[in-house]
Amino acid sequence: MKVVIQRVSEASVHIHQEINAVMQQGLLLFVGIENEDSKEDVEWLCRKIINMRIFGDENAAMNFSLKDVDGDAIIVSQFTLHASTKKGNRPSFIQAAKPEIAQPLYLDFISEFEKNLGKTVGTGEFGADMKVELLNDGPVTILLDSKDRR
């Protein structure tokens, strides 16, 4: 499972020209799920992300976590994180999990993240065509892969 973490000053997700989620300071997370991913990947990533110290303290040093700053989050499913571009010019998404595997894990990710953060988060809609707006803060962009924990 891969997650792109964007530290943002603001972010929103629009679906069918309507606002589905909007937030101020916090994290915008793009989540890509592979066939081999499991509940353990979800749990590890959620704990890691929520406790990751990527928000500035009074000296602008990254010493605070999302919990420390009482930040918000938006979680968006994004299968394109598993694009393979080794051959040709059209990306292959063969590593991305099929919807019947990915959607339940995406919903588990949202639930686990909310449980660990202690509040509701915004989301995209699985499989929908979305417009995502963000104002990256820093910029801070981090890629996590649950395979790196093994």
Each residue's pLDDT expressed in tens, for the chain with a length of 150 residues = 999 999 999 999 999 999 999 999 999 999 999 999 999 999 999 999 999 999 999 999 999 999 999 999 999 999 999 998 988 899 999 899 999 999 999 999 999 999 999 999 999 999 999 999 999 999 999 999 999 886
The set of residues, in sequence order, having a beta carbon less than 8 Å from that of 8 and lying 6+ positions away, is: 23, 25, 26, 27, 28, 134, 135, 136, 137
Reply yes or no on domain 2-149 having CATH 3.50.80.10: yes
Residue 149: per-residue pLDDT: 81
Separation CA 54–CA 117 (nearest Å) = 15
For the chain, the structural domain boundaries read 2-149
Q: Given the residues 80, 120, 123, 141, select the one marked as catalytic.
A: 80
Does the active-site annotation cover 80?
A: yes
Dig out the tokens for 37 from the structure.
Answer: 């991913």
Q: Which amino acid is at 69?
A: V
Instruction: Give the span between the Cα atoms of 101 and 91, in whole angstroms.
Output: 21
Amino acid at 135: L
